[in-house]
Amino acid sequence: MIAASSEVLNFPILSLLVVLPVIGSIVVALLGGSRPEWIKLAALISSVSTAALSLWLLAAFKSGEAGFQFVSKHDWISQWGISWHLGVDGISLFLIVLTGILFPLVIVGIDPHHNETSYFAWMLLLQAGVMGSFLSLDLFLFFVMFEIVLVPMYFLIGGWGYDQRVYAATKFFLYTMAGSAFMLIGIIATVALAQRDLGVVTFDLVKIAEGANFSTNAARWLFLSFAIAFSVKVPLFPFHTWLPDAHTQAPTGGSVILAGVLLKMGTYGFLRFGVYLFPQAAMWARPAIFTLAVIGIIYGAIAATMQRDLKRLVAYSSVAHLGFIVLGTFALSSQAVTGAVMQMVNHGVSTGALFLLVGMIYERRHTREIAELRGLQHVAPIFAGVFTVVMLSSVGLPGLNGFVGEFLILIGSFGPARWWTVVATVGVVLAALYLLWAYQRVFHGEPDEANSSFKELTLREGLLMSVFLAIIVVSGIYPKPILDRIEPSVVALIEHVEGQTK
Amino acid sequence: MNDQIAVFVGPAIDWFSISPLLVLLFGALFLLLVGSLTPQWRRGWYGLTSALTAGTAIILSILLWRDISSSGPKLLVGSALALDHFAVLASIAICSAVLLVSLLTSDYLAGENTDMPEIYSLYLTAAIGGIVMVAANDLIVLFLGLETLSLSLYLLAASNRKRAESQEAGLKYFILGGFASAFFLYGVALTYGATGSTRLVDINSALNSYITVPRNDTLLLLGIGLMLVGFGFKVSLVPFQSWTPDVYQGSPTPVTAFMASAGKVAALVALVRVFVTAFPSRADDWGPAVFVLSALTLVVGSVVAVVQTDVKRMLAYSSISHAGFILVGLEASSHRASPEVGDGLTAIAIYVVLYAALVVGTFSVVTVVAQKSNDGATSLDAFKGIGRNNPVLALAITVLLLAQAGVPLTSGFVAKFGVIQAAVSVGSYELAVIAMVAAVIAAFIYLRIMVSMWLSDSTDSVSVEVPLFSTIAIAIAVAVTLVIGVLPSLLLDLTSDLTQLAIK
């Protein structure tokens, strides 16, 4: 047993998950001038090996254990009590795997059309930042990763986006930075206050969460400072206004990553940092957060219904879906939180896939206006079929992955947040409404001249989508292996919360 | 009585301890005398001589640093100067600024088809003034340093005789700087009246004793206030900042780099030393004043920066905002009324050092870019298309700008983190929040410059030529920014005993 675990420790898989994309990014940047034809290959090698590592992690992960596994800890800035401290548990495991898989798919599946070198370099850097955010067990390291993600995303939106890209990129950068400014103060204050209980200055998440004892008032302020950053990132109503712009203007690859993993940094942050560090304050803030989450669900759904732009529609549907995730996170029952974690991954898969499909439509028709599209299922039946499955997964049809998470969230939230849950359920119906209606307008009817030349799914696109479809169907029909890995960590977290709030 | 008249004993001078000053003085005189007596040197040699002098001063300062590490801080020249890590670190920052700016100036002057020794000589004298300021343990000595620095800077601002803006900048700076000096001197006089001494250490002990000097708080507070105003002008705190954008914009860009780095470091470090060494017992009085100045400086500096269209003016306002950040550290020190000043002082020292490298690097790029066009324009439009034509240069300035914005893994984040940590650890949450919000607002201007470089379509396909010396200067600045950003321990190790100021 001991031998086995030390064997695992010898191979720093988690550090490698962060470092590998960085190396890939540097290699891509260096190759850019001399060997442009190797760039995509280099980016692919880097991202595929990261994906392989993340899958290996999934296989080696011990199901049924609640604590952090594969922990890797090294002093970084010892004077300030900061360490390079990475670990994975059931809550972060699937987000890491999702991050690992999504990037190679985006890299292989979507052409940037211009400036390949910098596009792939930023992409890989982005991956490193996202990986780091999900793996960090050190408050400082987490902040660094959380914040550094802005830079590549800013350049991806600004450099490869659509007409309003500079505006959208700047808005994205400043909004998120403003949110995390408060978190930085919160982190420093957390450490300063925890020092009184712990006796040492440390940014170690676990030590602080287990050892520190904040006064009620201090904990509430600290929780709020974290909550602002995460609410912007999720985004929770009313901090969501950057999202539709960023999504609509971002290139397809950027949108997929943004919806797939970047937004999850907010919901994950709530769970890993907000709730874990300040359980009492989280309980105290619950009613307000429930309310905002439910407003987000309903508002996102209504706004999505009204959109004329297909991509904007999907963006607003994200606001609604993330409302569900936040609702489940703060319900703090093991079912709801497990559902929320599951739903983080599901939303990443299904909304990521939706953005990919919308991107393919735009590639073919150079428009995303719903009114301009008609009757596509006549000319591209396979495309329409794929779209249907992905859409139904997003709606939450039983048998597909979206259902599992949503169902667990609603069941688990009904006890702690009855009336909010009742209202949220309306959002499920609305989701069916706006997505099906959009589908009807785009795919049904007789195609006019412009739409009748709509190209069917190519082989490359088909292979790409089949990965998404496989995940959607398999994890929808047989979610048990996933839930088995998520649940112990969630239960431990809930116990921690209950122990602190008694 | 007779004894006092009869014998004047000069103070013992530890020559080695002031060797950086002597080297700089020698370099300045050498350039001026030999430079004026010999025919025009080959291009670049004046700048190299100046850089070499500054480099020697840096090496000597490093030796002094090790001396202090082994034998502790001390006072020099009859307690006129303090020799401690705080002073030496600031001296190294100032000399490094001279080194980089000399290299930059050499290229700049080559671009203007001229070269002259005076400018470098003035850099070196300014550095002497700056080092005297950061080490001064006596208000009069501090004033001498301040004037040496300021007079050099006035001349430097006006040094481009071909451009009217440069003349205007010099004159404006001179008049307002004169005002500031007068304020400062008046403050010194009143403080002397209240405490009976101009030595920082003696002022502190006088204020702490109730027997020798009757407490005259009106005079004292007035003195402190006037000094704060004087410093406020020098480091351009709001509401004393109005000269900064004009002077920064009008001066030749390398000179602006020098003013924003060495000039600011010297004035800020002197300000901090005076307040934490001489007046810790009155921290409750000046703390709130510093709080207000800091908040105003942060907010006005960042907000007004946003509406600028000229990069030099933007950076002028951003330098104002940075000064506000540094005052956050001073405000944090004011919460501990003892020489045990805590994190604030260390944070300030780290901030000024990193800021100096950052600002020199940024203005170096501006210098290089401005020389692309004939009229030396530094509007945002001048930056268009650099991303496509000079990707490496654009990447370098992107790193520098992200650091100014305080993005993690750059030195700017380390600097800001230290200051915010100092503020939060003494419970100054309000100021920490104001500072961070101001940082986000200021980030907008850095984004605008990046947008100009990377994301604007430019019709202009002239690529920027980066001369050798400027390349070196920019490369050093970027290297410092990244290395300290990723491994702050390198700097933090050095600054662990920074709070031991020389008081004996």
Residues 379..398 of B with a Cβ closer than 8 Å to A: which?
A: 391
Three-state DSSP state, A83: strand
In chain B, the percentage of residues whose pLDDT exceeds 70 is 93
Indicate if the pLDDT at residue A248 is higher than 50: yes
pLDDT tens readout for residues A116-160: 888 899 999 999 999 999 999 999 999 999 999 999 999 999 888
* Nearest chain A residue to B401, by CA: A151
Does the pLDDT of residue B6 top 90, yes or no? no
- pLDDT tens track for B184-201: 999 999 999 888 888 888
pLDDT digits (tens, 9 = 90+) for B10-32: 777 888 888 899 999 999 999 98
**Pair type for strands A69-77 and A82-88:** antiparallel
Residue range A156-200, pLDDT digits in tens: 998 888 888 889 999 999 999 999 999 999 999 999 888 888 888
Task: Report CB contact under 8 Å: A79, B489.
Answer: yes
Separation of alpha carbons A248 and A366, rounded Å: 14
For A319-343, write each residue's pLDDT tens digit. Answer: 999 999 999 999 988 899 999 999 9
CB contact under 8 A, A181 and B454: no
Phi, psi (5° rounding) for residue A458? -80, 170
Residues of A within 8 A of B447 (CB-CB) are: 154, 170, 173-174
| CA separation for the pair A131, A269 (Å, rounded) | 13
CA torsion sign, A197 to A198 to A199 to A201?
negative
Judge whether A87 and A137 are in contact, CB under 8 Å. yes
By three-state DSSP, how is residue A374 classified?
A: coil
Residue B150 and residue B236: Cα distance in Å, rounded?
13
> CB–CB of A188 and B444 under 8 A?
no
List Cβ<8 Å contacts ≥24 apart for B389-393: B389/B461, B389/B462, B389/B463, B389/B464, B390/B463, B390/B464, B390/B466, B391/A118, B393/B365, B393/B368, B393/B464, B393/B466, B393/B474
Mean pLDDT throughout A393-411?
A: 88
pLDDT at A4: 38
C-alpha of B384 from chain center: 30
Provide, rounded to the nearest whole percent, the portion of chain A with pLDDT above 70: 98
- Of B317, B412, B413, B441, nearest to A174 by C-alpha is B441
Structure tokens at A91: 């809550």
B81–chain A nearest CA distance, Å: 30
Nearest CA in chain B to A115: B388
Residue B118, both tokens: 């005076």
Q: Give me the pLDDT at residue B374, please.
A: 64
Q: CB of B409 within 8 Å of any CB in chain A?
A: yes
Q: How far apart are CA A285 and CA B429, in angstroms?
A: 21
Instruction: Look at residue B375 in the predicted model and tell me its pLDDT.
Output: 67
**pLDDT of B461 over the 80 cut:** no
DSSP conformation class of A61: S
Give the closest of A148, A174, A188 to B444, CB-based. Answer: A174
Residues in B closer than 8 angstroms to A194, CB to CB, are: none
Lowest mean pLDDT among A220-224, B6-10, B199-203, B276-280: B6-10
Which residues contact residue A201 at a Cβ distance below 8 angstroms, ignoring those fewer than 6 apart? A80, A81, A191, A195
| Pick among B298, B420, B497 to test the A interface (most A CBs inside 10 A) | B420
Average confidence score pLDDT of chain A: 88
Residue B402 contacts A where some CB pair is shorter than 8 Å: yes
Nearest CA distance, A175 vs chain B (angstrom): 9
* Look-up of token digits 């994301």: B455
Contact assignment for B492 to A79 by CB distance below 8 Å: yes
Among B451, B455, B492, the residue with its CB nearest the CB of A77 is B492
Using the Cβ of B417 and the Cβ atoms of chain A, whether some distance falls under 8 Å is answered with yes
- Count interface pairs A-B at CB distance under 8 A: 77
> B451–A159: do the CB atoms touch at under 8 Å?
no
Question: pLDDT per residue over B121-135, tens digit each?
Answer: 999 999 999 999 999
What is the pLDDT confidence band of residue B215, given thresholds at 50, 70 and 90?
low
The answer to whether the Cβ–Cβ distance between A76 and B433 falls below 8 Å is no
Is pLDDT at B340 greater than 50 in this prediction? no
Name B138's bridge partners.
B199
* B424: chain A residues, CB-CB within 8 Å: 185, 188-189, 192
The answer to whether residues A99 and A23 touch, using CB atoms and an 8 Å cutoff, is no
Choose the closest CB to A184 out of B420, B447, B488. Answer: B420
For residue A173, which residues of chain B lie inside 8 Å, CB to CB? 443, 447
B432–A188 C-beta distance less than 8 A: yes
User: Quick count: other Cβ atoms within 10 Å of Cβ A41?
Assistant: 12
B16 touching A (Cβ < 8 Å): no
Q: Does B41 touch chain A (CB under 8 A)?
A: no
Nearest Cα neighbor of B59 from B81, B92, B98 is B92
Nearest chain A CA: its distance from B184 CA (Å)? 35
**pLDDT value at residue A5:** 42
- Could you tell me if B392 and B465 are in contact, meaning their C-beta atoms sit under 8 angstroms apart? no
pLDDT at B216: 63
Q: How would residue B338 be classed by pLDDT, with cut points 50, 70 and 90?
A: very low
Asked if B492 reaches chain A (Cβ–Cβ under 8 Å), the answer is yes
Q: Hey, are the CB atoms on A174 and B447 less than 8 Å from each other?
A: yes
Alpha-carbon dihedral angle through residues A362, A364, A367, A372, given to the nearest 10 degrees: -130
**B141 and B81 in contact (C-beta within 8 Å)?**
yes
Alpha-carbon distance of A340 to A414, in angstroms, equals 14
Q: Which of residues 445-484 of B touch A (CB under 8 A)?
A: 447, 451, 454-455
Q: How far apart are CA A198 and CA A103, in angstroms?
A: 40
Q: Which of B408, B420, B489 sits opposite A147 (nearest CB)?
A: B408
Q: Sorting pLDDT into bands at 50, 70 and 90, what band is B116?
A: confident
Please say if the pLDDT value at position A7 is more than 50: no
User: What pLDDT, on a 0 to 100 scale, did the predictor assign at position B277?
Assistant: 86
